[in-house]
Structure 1
Amino acid sequence: MTIISTPGLHGGPPATGLRRPVLPAAAVAALGAGIALTALLGPLVSDLMRYRTSPTTLNQLLGSDAAGLFVIAPLAVVAAVLVFRRPVAGLLLASGIGAFAVYTYLQVIVGQEYLRLPGNVERFFPLLLAVFVLAEATFVLAWRAVPTDLPPVSRRLELAAGGALLAVVVFLVFGQHLRPMLLAWSDPASLTEYASSPTPFWLVKLMDLGIVVPIAAITGIGLLRRAAWARRVAYPLLTAYALLGVSVTAMGVVMSLHADPDAAPGLTVGFLVFTAIFAGLAAALYRPLLRRPTADPGERHASG
Structure 2
Amino acid sequence: MLGSDAAALFAVAPLAVVAAVLVARRQVAGAVLATGVGVFALYTHAQVIVGQEYLRLPGNVERFFPLLLAVFLLAEATLVLGWRAVPADLPAPPRRVERVAGGVLVAVAVLLVFGLHLRPMLVAWSDAASLTEYASSPTPFWLVKLMDLGIVVPVATVTGIGLLRRAAWARRFAYPLLTACTLLGVSVTAMGVVMNLRSDPDASLVLTAGFAAFTVAFAALTAALYRPLFGPAGTCQAQQVRPGGNGLEAGDRSADRAQSR
The alignment's TM-score, normalised by the length of structure 2, stands at 0.89
2:143 aligned with 1:197: no
2:175 aligned with 1:235: yes
Q: Which residue of the partner structure matches residue 25 of structure 1?
A: none
Please tell me whether the aligned partners of residues 163 and 220 of structure 1 are also in contact (alpha carbons under 8 angstroms): yes
Q: What letter corresponds to residue 146 of structure 2 in structure 1?
A: L
SS of the equivalent of 2:200 reads coil
Please tell me whether the aligned partners of residues 102 and 164 of structure 2 are also in contact (alpha carbons under 8 angstroms): yes
Q: Deviations over 1:160-179 (max 9, x none)?
A: 00100011012111111111
Q: Which residue of the partner structure matches residue 299 of structure 1?
A: 245
Q: Which shifted more, 271-280 or 202-211? A: 271-280
Please tell me whether the aligned partners of residues 86 and 290 of structure 1 are also in contact (alpha carbons under 8 angstroms): no
2:144 aligned with 1:173: no
Please tell me whether the aligned partners of residues 92 and 228 of structure 2 are also in contact (alpha carbons under 8 angstroms): no
Structure 2 unmatched runs, 5+: none
Partner Cα distance (2:173, 2:133) in 1: 33
SS of the equivalent of 1:62 reads coil
Partner Cα distance (1:171, 1:273) in 2: 14
Equivalent of 2:163 in 200, 210, 223: 223
Equivalent of 2:152 in 212, 215, 221: 212
Q: Which residue of the partner structure matches residue 18 of structure 1?
A: none
The alignment's TM-score, normalised by the length of structure 1, stands at 0.76
SS of the equivalent of 2:3 reads helix
Partner Cα distance (1:238, 1:98) in 2: 12
Q: Using the TM superposition, give the Cα deviation of residue 125 of structure 1 relative to its aligned residue in structure 2, in angstroms.
A: 0.4
Q: Which residue of the partner structure matches residue 115 of structure 1?
A: 55
Partner Cα distance (2:127, 2:206) in 1: 22
Q: CA RMSD in A?
A: 1.7
Partner Cα distance (1:207, 1:187) in 2: 23
Q: Using the TM superposition, give the Cα deviation of residue 292 of structure 1 relative to its aligned residue in structure 2, in angstroms.
A: 6.4
Partner Cα distance (1:114, 1:100) in 2: 23
Q: Which residue of the partner structure matches residue 281 of structure 1?
A: 221
Please tell me whether the aligned partners of residues 31 and 82 of structure 2 are also in contact (alpha carbons under 8 angstroms): yes
Instruction: Give the aligned length.
Output: 243
Partner Cα distance (1:258, 1:292) in 2: 49
Partner Cα distance (1:140, 1:186) in 2: 41
